Structure 1
Amino acid sequence: MNDDSGRKRTPASYLRYGLLALAAFLVLSLGFALIPRESPAPAAPPFSEQARAAALAETLDLRTASQQLADGSSGARRQLFSHTVTLLTTQARALLLPGGATSGSGAGASSGAGRQLGTPGQSGTTGPTATASSGAAPSGTATLPALVAALSKSGKARLANAERADGGMARLLAAVGTAQLLQATTLAQAAGTQPPALQAPAATQRNAATACSVATPSGSSTGSQDGAQSGSGGQPAQTADPAGNATLAAALSRVVRTEVETVYGYQVALTRLDGSAADQAAALLATHETLVGQAETYTRVHCASVPPREPGYTLGTSFLQKPAAGLASLEAGTLPVYGDLVALSDGETRRWAVSSLVAAAQRTMRWGSDPGPVPGIVLDTALLPKLPEPAGSARQTDGGAAAPAS
C-alpha cells in the first residue's frame, strides 16, 4: 500500500504510528490525573449541632458582658452580675463539645459562626435561630439594659431551637433558654426596666375525643386505627404503665402523676397559708388543675393510658410547718419531669412541654427558690468540661470573680 507521496508503507511504520498514539494517550491521561479536582463543599452540620454552636457563641458573649458589669460594680449589683456570670459559665460548659473543645478554632470562631446562622424573623433562614449580641459583644462596653435585652433575645432563640433539635439537645437548649429568660427578668427588676415577656403554657389544641396519633419513623403520624394495630397483639401502642422507661408514654405519665401530686400539695398548703401567699397559692392551684387536664389530653392523643389518680399523698412535717417552702420544692420537682418530656416528644407536644418548663421555672422563683442554670436537667457541674482559657486575658473562675492570668 502506497501513501500520497508514492512511498510504500511497511508494518514498521504502522507500529511507529501506534506507539506515537499510545504515548500521546498516556501523556494526556497523566495530565488529567495530575489536575487536582475541586474539593466538594463540606456537608452542613446537623441542625442540633448548629443550634448548640449558636447557643455556645452567644452564651460566651453574654458571659463576657456580665463579667464587665461585675468588674465595674460593687455591693449588691456586683453580686447580681457575678451570679449571672456563674450561670452563663455553667451553661457554656454544658454546651461545650465532648473533650471541652469549642467548634471551629476556639470560642471566637464559634461565636462568628453562630452569628451568621440567622436572626429571628429573617425570611429564608433555615438554620437555628441566632441573635445579634445586642450590646453584649465582648468588644463593646456592656450596659445593664443591653445585657437584659441580649439575655432575653438569646433565651427566646434557644427555646425556638429547642422545638426542632434532637431530644437530648432540645432539653439542654430549653433549659439554657429558660434560665436566660429568668435571669433577664431578674436583671430588669434591678434596673427598673420592663421585664421580658415569658412564654405562657401553650393551650391544648386537641380534645380528649381526638383520635390518637402514633409517630412513624418518617415523622408522620397515623390515626387511631393504625395505632390500634401497632402494638403487639393488636393492642394500642404504649398503653401499659411505663414508669421509669425513657419513652414518650412514660414521660407523659410522669407529668400527669407529678401534676396531680402538686395539686394535692397546693390544696393542703392553702389551709395553712394566709394573705398574699394564700392568694398566690389559690391562683397557682387553678393553673396546676389546668395542667393536669392538658397532660391527660396529650397522653390520650399519643395512645397512652392515663395513670389513675391517687386518693392522697404523704407530705412531710417540714411541708406542713413551712408550706410556702414546700410549694417551692414541689414546683422545682416538676422541672426535670417537663425536661424529660421535651427530650422525648416532638411537634405540638414538645411546644407545650417547652412552654410548661418555662412557666414551672417561673413559679419556682415566685416561691423563692432558684431553678438553677439549667432548669429541667439534674446536672453534676463537677463532670462538665472546663472552658478554654482566653490567651492573654484575665482568667475567670466559675464563680465569676476575675483571677490573675497564669
Structure 2
Amino acid sequence: MNDDSGRKRRPASYLRYALLALAAFLVLSLGFALIPRESPAPATPPFSEQARAAALAETLDLRTVSQQLAVGSSGARRQLFSHTVTLLTTQARALLLPGATAGSAAGQSGTKGPSATASSGAAPSGTATLPALVSALSKSGKARLLHAEKADGGMARLLAAVGTAQLLQATTLAQAAGTPPPALQAPAATQRNAATACSVATPSGSSTGSEDGAQPGNGGQPTPTADPAGSATLAAALDRVVRTEVETVYGYQVALTRLDGSAADQAAALLATHETLVGQAEAYTRVQCASVPPREPGYTLGTSFLQKPAAGLASLEAGTLPVYGDLVALSDGETRRWAVSSLVAAARRTMRWGSDPGPVPGIVLDTALLPELPEPAAPSPSHSDGDAAATSAP
C-alpha cells in the first residue's frame, strides 16, 4: 500500500515543479523584455566630416568676433571688418552640408573635429580685439590647410580654399593692426623622381625619354600616357597645371617689356617663381608616370593685357587658382601637400597684383546656391545695449 501511494504522489510533484519552472521562465522573460537595451555608441564620423564640422564651428566663431569689431569701429576699419564678416559668412555657408536648412547650422557645427584644433581661440563675447582676431584667423587657416592634406578630394579642396582665404585675411588685418603677418609655408619641393616612383616595369631596353626634355635613361619605366582634356584624373590635373604655368611664364615675359619701376622688379621675381613652378609641376607629372605636355611656342594675349600688363598679370594669377584647386582634390600625399601650398602662394600673388582671390580661392562658387545661415538669436532683455549690438549681423 505504501509503495502504491508513493507512486501516485510523484506525478503531482513533477507537475508542481514544471509549473514553478514555467512561472520562473515567464517572470525572467518579462523582466528581460522590460529592461531597455543599451543603445549602441554612435559611429565615429569620417575624418573629412570631422574636419568640415571643426571648420564650420571655428568660422562661425570668427564671424561673431568680426561682427563685434565691425560694430565698434568706423571708417576704413569698419569696412575692413565688414569685409571679413562677408568672407567668413560665405565660407560658413559653403561648409554647410548640401541641402541643409537655415536652422541646421548650429547642429552641424556642434560636432567637434580633430582635437588638435577644436577651438579657434576666438575671443569671447564683448572682449574682441584686432590682434586676437588676427591670431585666431591665422590659427584657423593653418588648421584648415593641415586638414586639407588628409581629407577626401572635394572636402580637401574646400578646406584648402577656406584656409587660404583666412590666412590672407589675417595678413590684411595684421597690416591694419601693425603686427607681423602670419608666416606662410612656401611650396614644397619634389622629394622623388620618376626613376624611384614609377614601379611598373616595361620590356627590357625600352625608354620613356620624351621630347619635352625629360631626362633620358629611364629604362624600365612604363610608357607615359596622356589623359583626355578635361578628365578628372590626377594626370589630367597635373597636365593642366603644367600648361597653365607655362602660359603664365609667357605672360610675364611679355609684361616685363611693358612694365617699369617696382612693378617690373616684382614681375621679374615672380617670373622666376613661375619658371620654378613649371619644373616642379613637370617633375610631379613624371612621378605619376604621365607624359609632360609639350611647351607651346607662344600664346595669344588680348589687347587689354598689352595695354594694362599689371592687371593682365593679376588675371593670369587668378586663373591658376582653380587649376591648383583641381590638383588638391585629385591628388594625395606629397603631391597634395605641394598643391595646397601652391594654392596659397598663387592667392598671395593674385593679391600682390591688386586682385581679390575671393572667399574660397580655387573654387568657382555660385553663392546663390549656398544655404543661408540662421539669423542670430534675439538678445534677452537682461543684455546690455552693447551686447545686443554685438550679436547683430551687419
TM-score by length of 2: 0.84
Distance 1:145 1:358 in 2: 22
- C-alpha displacement at 1:233, in angstroms? 19
Residue of structure 1 equivalent to 2:388: 401
CA contact under 8 A between 1:331 and 1:361: conserved in structure 2?
Answer: yes
Q: How many residues align?
A: 391
Going from structure 1 to structure 2, the CA distance change for 1:295 and 1:399 (only over 3 Å counts) comes to: farther
Q: Distance in 2 between matches of 1:166 and 1:139?
A: 34
Pair 227,27 (structure 1): closer, same or farther in 2 beyond 3 Å: farther
Judged with a 3 Å threshold, the aligned counterparts in structure 2 of structure 1 residues 168 and 399 are, in CA distance, closer, same or farther, namely farther
Paired with 2:213 and 2:14, the residues of 1 have a C-alpha distance of: 77
Q: Does the C-alpha gap of structure 1 residues 83 and 125 become closer, same or farther in structure 2, counting only changes over 3 Å? A: closer
Moved more, 208-217 or 150-159: 208-217
Q: Which sits farther off after the overlay, 5-14 or 285-294?
A: 5-14
Partners of 1:129 and 1:157 within 8 A in 2: no
Moved more, 306-315 or 31-40: 31-40
Q: State the shift of 1:267 in Å.
A: 0.8
> Quick one: structure 1 residues 204 and 218, their matched pair in 2 at CA, closer, same or farther if it must change by over 3 Å?
farther
Shift of 1:302: 1.0
Alpha carbons 1:155, 1:177 under 8 Å: kept: yes
Report deviation, 1:76: 0.7
Other-structure match for 2:245: 259
Q: Structure with the greater relative contact order (CA < 8 A, sep ≥ 6): 1 or 2? A: 2
Q: Distance in 2 between matches of 1:321 and 1:127?
A: 49
CA distance in 2, matches of 1:399, 1:349: 49
Instruction: Please state how far the C-alpha of 1:79 moved relative to its aligned partner.
Output: 0.7
Q: Which structure has greater helix proportion?
A: 2
Q: Which runs of 5+ in 2 are unaligned?
A: none
Mark the CA change 1:216 to 1:155 in structure 2 (over 3 Å): closer, same or farther: farther
Equivalent position of 2:317 in the other structure: 331
The Cα shift of 1:275 comes to 1.1
Identity value in percent:
91
The superposition leaves residues 103-123 of structure 1 with CA deviations (integer Å, 9 ceiling, x where unpaired) of xxxxx999999xxxxx99999
Q: Is the 8 A contact 1:227 1:303 kept in 2?
A: no
Give the C-alpha shift of residue 126 in structure 1: 12
Tell me the CA shift for residue 234 of structure 1.
13
Q: CA deviation at 1:10?
A: 3.8
1:33 positional shift: 2.5
1:91 and 2:77 are equivalent in the alignment: no
* Whole-angstrom CA distance in 2 between matches of 1:245 and 1:296: 18
Question: What is the CA distance between 1:141 and its match in structure 2?
Answer: 1.4
Shift of 1:163: 0.5
Superposed displacement of residue 226, structure 1: 24
Offset from partner CA, 1:8-35 (integer Å, 9 cap, x none): 5343432332232222222212222322
CA offset digits 1:72-117 (Å, max 9, x no partner):
111111111110010001001101122xxxxxxxxx999999xxxx
- 1:308-337 Cα deviation digits (max 9, x unpaired): 111111000111111111000000000000
Cα deviation for residue 169 of structure 1 reads 0.5
Specify whether residues 219 and 120 from structure 1 end up closer, same or farther in structure 2 by C-alpha distance, changes over 3 A only.
farther
Distance 2:42 2:50 in 1: 14
Per-residue CA shift, 1:245-275, capped at 9, x if unaligned? Answer: 1111111110011001001111111111111
Q: Report the 3-state secondary structure (helix = DSSP H, G, I; strand = E; otherwise coil) of the residue aligned with 1:44.
A: coil
Contact 1:216 1:222 in 2 (8 A): no
CA distance 1:200–1:123, change in 2 (3 Å): farther
Work out the CA distance in 2 between the residues paired with 1:221 and 1:374.
43
TM-score by length of 1: 0.82
> Which of residues 227, 232, 243 is equivalent to 1:246?
232
Instruction: State which drifts further: 388-397 or 178-187.
Output: 388-397
- Aligned-residue offset at 1:241: 3.2
Q: Structure 1 residues 16-25 or 83-92, which shifts more?
A: 16-25
Q: CA RMSD, aligned part only?
A: 7.1
| Cα distance, 1:328–1:218 mapped onto 2, change above 3 Å | farther
Aligned CA distance change for structure 1 residues 94 and 123 (closer, same or farther; 3 Å) = closer
Separation in 1 of the partners of 2:17 and 2:107? 70
Q: For residues 398 and 311 of structure 1, do their structure 2 counterparts lie closer, same or farther at Cα, with a shift above 3 Å needed? A: farther
Query: Does the CA-based 8 Å contact 2:123-2:132 persist in structure 1?
Result: no
Flag structure 1 segments of 5+ consecutive residues without an equivalent. 99-107, 114-118
C-alpha contact 1:229 1:235 (8 A) present in aligned 2: no
Residue equivalent to 1:305: 291
Pairwise CA distance, 1:140 = 3.9
Greater shift in the superposed pair: 8-17 or 73-82: 8-17
In structure 1, what is the Cα distance between the partners aligned to 2:138 and 2:81? 15
CA distance in 2, matches of 1:123, 1:385: 14
Aligned in 2, Cα 1:122/1:52: closer, same or farther, shift over 3 Å? Answer: closer
Matched residue of 2:285: which SS?
Answer: helix
Contact 1:65–1:137 (Cα < 8 Å) also in 2? yes
The structure-2 alpha-carbon separation of the partners of 1:388 and 1:38, relative to structure 1 and needing over 3 Å to count, comes to: same
Question: Does the C-alpha gap of structure 1 residues 230 and 277 become closer, same or farther in structure 2, counting only changes over 3 Å?
Answer: closer
Alignment of 1:159-308 (within 5 A): 159-212=145-198, 236=222, 239-308=225-294
Deviates further, 305-314 or 348-357: 305-314
Superposed displacement of residue 391, structure 1: 1.8
Assess, with a 3 A threshold, how the Cα gap between structure 1 residues 111 and 209 changes in structure 2: closer, same or farther: farther
Q: Check 1:95–1:4 CA distance in 2 against 1; reply closer, same or farther (3 A cut).
A: farther
Alpha-carbon spacing, 1:232–1:188, altered in 2? closer, same or farther (3 Å)? closer
Return the offset for 1:242.
Answer: 2.5
8 A Cα contact 1:227 1:236, kept in partner: no
CA distance in 1, matches of 2:246, 2:382: 47
Contact in 1 for aligned 2:53/2:113 (Cα 8 Å): no
Contact persistence 1:67–1:400 (CA under 8 A): no
